[in-house]
Amino acid sequence: MNPLARWLDPAVIQQIERLDLRARLIVEGFLAGLHRSPFQGLSLEFAEHRKYVCGDDPRSIDWNVFARTDRLFVRKRQAETHLACHLLIDASASMGLVGYADALSRPPRGPVPQPAHMSKLDYAIHIAAAIGYLVTHQQDAIGVGTIRDGLESLLPARTRRAHLAELLATLAALRPSGVTGLPGGLLEAGRRIAHRGLIIVLSDLLSDEGATRNALVQLRQRGHDVVVMHILAAAELDFAFDAEIRLEDPESGEALTVRAESVRDAYLGMIGRWRDDLRESLMAQRIDYVPLDTATPFDRALIEFLVQRARRA
Q: What is the dihedral of CA 100, 105, 107, 108, to 10 degrees?
A: -90
pLDDT for res 277: 95
**Sign of the torsion formed by the C-alpha atoms of 267, 96, 90 and 126:** negative
β-bridge partners, 141 = 84
**Is the pLDDT higher at 169 or at 60?**
169
pLDDT for res 53: 75
Average pLDDT over residues 279-297: 92
Statement: residue 132 has pLDDT above 60 = yes
Q: Mean pLDDT score of the chain, rounded to an integer?
A: 78
Most confident of 19-28, 59-68, 177-186: 177-186
107 close to 235: Cβ distance less than 8 angstroms: no
90-94, 154-158, 234-238, range with the lowest pLDDT? 234-238
pLDDT for res 10: 53
Residue pLDDT, tens place only, 228-286:
999 999 888 887 777 777 777 766 778 778 787 778 888 889 999 999 999 999 999 99
Question: What's the burial of 164, exposed, middle or buried (CB within 10 Å: 0-12/13-18/19+)?
Answer: buried
Residue pLDDT, tens place only, 10-50:
555 566 566 666 666 666 665 555 444 433 333 334 345 66
Statement: residue 122 has pLDDT above 50 = yes
Separation CA 141–CA 157 (nearest Å) = 5
Which residue, among 133, 102, 151, has the nearest Cα to 27 in the 3D structure? 133
pLDDT for res 63: 80
pLDDT for res 19: 67
Statement: residue 212 has pLDDT above 90 = yes
pLDDT for res 247: 74
Q: What is the dihedral of CA 106, 109, 112, 115, to 10 degrees?
A: 20
**High-pLDDT (> 70) share of the chain, %:** 71
Query: Would you place residue 82 in the very low, low, confident or very high pLDDT band (cuts 50, 70, 90)?
Result: low
Domains assigned to the chain: 12-31+83-310 (3.40.50.410), 47-79 (no CATH)
**High-pLDDT (> 90) share of the chain, %:** 36
pLDDT for res 77: 52
* Phi, psi for residue 252 in degrees, rounded to 5: -100, -20
pLDDT for res 313: 53
pLDDT for res 108: 46
Average pLDDT over residues 139-147: 92
Q: What is the dihedral of CA 145, 151, 156, 162, to 10 degrees?
A: -40
Statement: residue 152 has pLDDT above 80 = yes
Q: Reduce the secondary structure of the chain to three states and give it as a string.
A: CCHHHHCCCHHHHHHHHHHHHHHHHHHHHHHHHHCCCCCCCCCCCCCCEEECCCCCCHHHECHHHHHHHCCCEEECCHHHHCCEEEEEEECCHHHHCCCCHHHHCCCCCCCCCCCCCCCHHHHHHHHHHHHHHHHHHCCCEEEEEEECCCEEEEEEEECCHHHHHHHHHHHHCCCCCCCCCHHHHHHHHHHHCCCCCEEEEEECCCCCHHHHHHHHHHHHHCCCEEEEEEEECHHHHHCCCCCEEEEECCCCCCEEEEEHHHHHHHHHHHHHHHHHHHHHHHHHCCCEEEEEECCCCHHHHHHHHHHHHHCCC
pLDDT for res 7: 40
Question: CA of 212: how far to CAs of 7, 95, 132, 208, in Å?
Answer: 35, 16, 24, 6
Average pLDDT over residues 81-86: 77
Which residue, among 171, 164, 197, 201, has the nearest Cα to 185 in the 3D structure? 201
Tell me the CB-side half-sphere exposure of residue 220, using CA atoms within 13 A.
17
Query: Would you place residue 74 in the very low, low, confident or very high pLDDT band (cuts 50, 70, 90)?
Result: confident
This prediction has a pTM of 0.74
